[in-house]
Structure 1
C-alpha cells in the first residue's frame, strides 16, 4: 500500500499544477484517485488542497489585489463574474448531481471538446486589455462559461481563458482574468466543503498540513511560470495534451 503521505503529496502536486493551467485539476484528481485506489482522498483533504491553491494565488497577486480593491468597479466585476459558478456549483452539489458527473466517460468527452474550443479560441488576434475592455457584458459571458467548470474535465482556468480569448483578450490578460476569478471560486469551494464538515468531527493530521503546504508551493510556481509561458507561446501544447488524454480515456472506456 502506498503511504498516505505519498498519496497526499501526489494529490497536492496535481492540484497545484493543474488548477491554474487549462487542464482540469478535478479530472486528474478523480482519475488518479480511481485508477490507483487512493485511500487518503476525503472532503477534508480536498478542502486543504484548494486552500493551498487559494493562499498561493492571493500571495502571488497580493499587490494586484490591493489595486483591485481600490478600483471598486473591477472588484465588482470579478465578484459578478463568480456568481454563476457559485450558484451552479451549489445547486449541483446540494442535489448530488455533481457525483454523477464524476465519471471517466464524462471526463473523456469534456477533456476533448473543451480542448478543441480552446484551440479555436486561441486563434483570436485582437488584443483587448483588462483595464480598458473588461465590462459587465464581457464578465457575464465569462462567468457563464466558468459555470461549466463544475463538470470534471472542463477546467475552470481553461474555460475562462477560452471565453476571454473568444472575446479578444490577449493570452496574458485572459490568464490573469482566470487567476482573478479563481479567488472567489476557490474560496467558495472551501466554504462549501467546510459547511459539509460542520456535523462531522474535524481532526488535525499532519497529512492535511502537508497537503496545504505542498499545494501552495506547486500552485505558486505554476502561476509564476504559466504567466511566462503564455507571454511567449500559444496554448497548443495544452490542446494537444487534452486530445492525447481523451484518446487514452476513450480507449479505456470503449475498447
Structure 2
C-alpha cells in the first residue's frame, strides 16, 4: 500500500508538471512507469491524473468560464476546436489502438521530431491575438493537429502551441489557446472512461483521490508559472529538454 502511494505521488507530480508544458505528460507517465515497473500505473490511474489537471485548469480560468456573456465566442471556439480530438480519441479507445501507441520507441521519435518542429515554430514572428484573430477556421485547424497528441510524445500542449505559433499568435496567446483547449479534451477523456472508475475497491478509490488532489495542485501552479515564464523567455528550454530525453530513450532502446 505504501509503495503504491509513493508511486501515485510521483506520477501525480509528473502529470501536473508536464500536462501543460510542451513535453508530453503521457510520454513521461508511460516511460517512468515502464522503466521503474510501477505497479500503480494503469490507464485508470492516468485518467485520474488527467481529471486532476482538468479541475486545475477550470479553476485557473474560472472567471472567464463563468463570464459566459463576454466570453461566449471564445468558449464555443474551444468546444469546436476539441471535436476532432474527442472523435479520434474515442475511435482509438474503442478499437484499443490507444494501447498500441504507448510504446517507448514511438515516444522517443515523437519527442525528438516534434521538439524540433516546436523550435522552428517558436521562431515565427507574431502579430495575431485571440481577441481579434481567433476564428472557427483557425481553431479547427489547430484542433485537427491536436489529434496528433493522441500519440504519446507529441504533447497536446506542444502541438497546439506549435501550430498556434506557426499561425503567428504570440507565445502567451498560443499557450492560452492550448490551456483552454485542454478543458474539453481532458473532460472528454475523463467522461469516456468514468465507468472504469466506478465500482473499484477501496484501495483503488483511495489512490484515485490522492492522484486527483496532487495532480490538481501541481497542475495549477505549473500553469501559473508557465504563463509568467513565456512572457520573458522563448520555448528553447523545452526544445533542449525534449532532445535530451529523446537521446536518453534512444540509448536505452538501441543499446
Structure 1 CA distance for aligned equivalents of residues 209 and 2 of structure 2: 19
Aligned to 2:33: 33
Given the two structures, how large is their TM-score scaled by the length of structure 1? 0.95
Q: Where do 5+ consecutive residues of structure 2 fail to align? A: none
Structure 2 CA distance for aligned equivalents of residues 70 and 14 of structure 1: 35
Q: Superposition RMSD on alpha carbons, in Å?
A: 1.5
Q: Where do 5+ consecutive residues of structure 1 fail to align? A: none
Aligned to 2:201: 203
- How many residues of Structure 1 are paired with residues of Structure 2 in the alignment? 253
Aligned to 1:56: 56
Aligned to 1:111: 111
Structure 1 CA distance for aligned equivalents of residues 219 and 130 of structure 2: 23
Aligned to 1:21: 21
Structure 1 CA distance for aligned equivalents of residues 196 and 44 of structure 2: 9
Moved more, 80-89 or 207-216: 207-216
Structure 2 CA distance for aligned equivalents of residues 218 and 227 of structure 1: 14
**1:6-57 deviation per Cα after TM superposition (whole angstroms, max 9, x unaligned):** 1000000000000000000000000010001011113332222111111110
Contact 2:82–2:184 under 8 Å retained in 1? yes
CA displacement at 1:69 relative to structure 2: 5.6
Aligned to 1:171: 171
Aligned to 2:132: 132
CA displacement at 1:84 relative to structure 2: 0.6
Aligned to 1:99: 99
Aligned to 2:232: 232
Structure 2 CA distance for aligned equivalents of residues 25 and 152 of structure 1: 8
CA displacement at 1:80 relative to structure 2: 0.7
Structure 2 CA distance for aligned equivalents of residues 61 and 221 of structure 1: 13
Structure 1 CA distance for aligned equivalents of residues 195 and 69 of structure 2: 27
Structure 2 CA distance for aligned equivalents of residues 172 and 109 of structure 1: 27
Structure 1 CA distance for aligned equivalents of residues 122 and 65 of structure 2: 27
SS in structure 2 opposite 1:6? helix
Moved more, 66-75 or 8-17: 66-75
Structure 2 CA distance for aligned equivalents of residues 108 and 41 of structure 1: 20
Contact 1:68–1:74 under 8 Å retained in 2? no
CA displacement at 1:196 relative to structure 2: 4.2
Aligned to 2:193: 193
**1:161-220 deviation per Cα after TM superposition (whole angstroms, max 9, x unaligned):** 00000000000000000000000011011011214456xx32343322211111011001
CA displacement at 1:249 relative to structure 2: 0.8
Contact 2:45–2:211 under 8 Å retained in 1? yes
Contact 1:161–1:178 under 8 Å retained in 2? yes
Contact 2:65–2:71 under 8 Å retained in 1? no
SS in structure 1 opposite 2:193? helix
Question: Could you say if the C-alpha distance between residues 107 and 47 of structure 1 is closer, same or farther in structure 2, counting changes exceeding 3 Å?
Answer: same
Given the two structures, how large is their TM-score scaled by the length of structure 2? 0.95
SS in structure 2 opposite 1:3? helix
Contact 2:64–2:71 under 8 Å retained in 1? no
SS in structure 2 opposite 1:71? helix
Structure 1 CA distance for aligned equivalents of residues 166 and 252 of structure 2: 33
- Segments of 4+ in structure 1 off by > 4 A? none
